[in-house]
Structure 1
Amino acid sequence: MTRLTPLTPADAPERSRQLLQEIIDRHGEAGVMTATMAHSPALLQGYLELSRAIKRVKLPRALSEKISLAVQEWLGCALCLAAHSDAARDAGLSEVDISLARQGTSTDAREAALLTYAVRVLAEPSSITGEDIAELRQHGWSDRTLADVVGLVSLNHLTGAFNLVAGLEPAS
């Protein structure tokens, strides 16, 4: 059940009105999450800026979607899981790949290590040790990738937490 009401540009605070109108001009619609985020101009602007920045990470799209699926499964956001499952299919992932990613793993040991790291960044970042980072490097992951994963996890945490608090669900 929706707990926060999506806003139209006409009903939104001035800065949110501008941001929503820019989204509508570019994409034709704002989407329920951004329309609901419009209650807070600071949140909406921060989300949009972080989202644009994270699009520049150096992760393959399929791997990025696997990380998003692992994080959203842990958070329990049905709206995000539906969106990232569709995006994963568009990126060429099979249903098995999607199912494994939602479990935080992969048939590829290198990817499985990164997915485990991503879930730990979300759930228990203080437990990550120098040895854990060294092991990820042994799998061939660079410091840039490890930093990019923190950003991707943060974006997913923001969207998942917001959707859960707002009560946003996938369309029936």
Structure 2
Amino acid sequence: MPRLTRLTPDTAVGSSRDLLGDLVARHGEIGDMVSTMAHSPAVLGGYLQLSRAMGRAKLDRRISERISIAVQAQQGCGLCLDAHVTAARALGVDEEEIERAHAGTSTEPAIAAIIALALQVYRDPTSITDEQIDALREHGYSDRAIADVVGIVALNILTGAFNLLAGLTPETVTGA
């Protein structure tokens, strides 16, 4: 059972009402996470801005989805994990690579290295070394792509932590 109620443009107040109204007007339906985030205009607005910004990330989406899978496997948000696995499949990531992402790796050394960095950003960013960043550059990652990893991890921490706090799971969302 969800711990927080879903809001609609009719039940939300202040800037959350405006944000939800705009989202409904543009997209029709909105998901449980977004409608529940509307309890905090700051959280909802921050999520929407970060989500839009990360849509412009330099990393290939097939890589960023594997990063998201690795982070969510650690964080424990089943709702996010399911969403990122579904997105990875839609992008053509095969089941073997999805399972490797669950374990925080890849058969491709360059992807394994960027996933490892993401997990360090999540768990222990003080342990990141100059040599590690140099190795990522040798794999062909630009400074922008390397920096984007922080944003991808931050977005996953925000959504996963919010869903866990709100009690949103694959079993409790609308239509599940």
TM superposition score normalised by structure 2: 0.94
CA distance in 2, matches of 1:65, 1:12: 31
Shift of 1:71: 0.8
Measure the CA separation in 1 of the matches of 2:164 and 2:109: 31
| Alpha-carbon distance in 1 for matches of 2:126, 2:17 | 39
Following the alignment from structure 2 to structure 1, what is the Cα–Cα distance between the partners of residues 81 and 158?
Answer: 14
Gaps of 5+ in 1: none
User: How far apart are the structure 1 equivalents of 2:39 and 2:156?
Assistant: 20
Q: Paired residues, what number?
A: 172
Kindly provide the CA deviation profile for residues 12-62 of structure 1, in whole angstroms up to 9, marking residues without a partner as x: 122111111111112111110000000001110110011000000111111
Alpha-carbon separation, structure 1, partners of 2:170 and 2:9: 22
Tell me the amino acid that sits aligned with residue 51 of structure 2. Answer: S
3-state SS, counterpart of residue 150 of structure 1: helix
Partner AA of 1:53 in structure 2: A
Q: Quote the offset at 1:2 in angstroms.
A: 1.1
RMSD of the TM alignment (CA)?
A: 1.0
User: Could you say what secondary structure the match of 2:10 adopts?
Assistant: helix
Give how far 1:138 is off: 2.1
Q: What residue in structure 2 maps to residue 168 of structure 1? A: 168
Residues 78-97 of structure 1 correspond to what in structure 2 (within 5 A)? 78-97=78-97
State how far apart, in whole Å, the 2-side matches of 1:110 and 1:84 are.
20
Q: Match for residue 49 of structure 2?
A: 49
- 1:156 deviation in Å? 0.7
Unaligned runs of 5+ in 2: none
What are the Cα deviations for residues 52-106 of structure 1, in whole angstroms up to 9, with x where unaligned?
0000011111111111111111101000011111111111111111111111111
Runs of at least 4 residues off by over 4 Å? none
Q: In structure 1, how many angstroms separate the alpha carbons of the residues matched to 2:143 and 2:107?
A: 23
Aligned to 2:30: 30
1:132 is the counterpart of 2:132: yes
CA apart distance, 1:135: 2.0
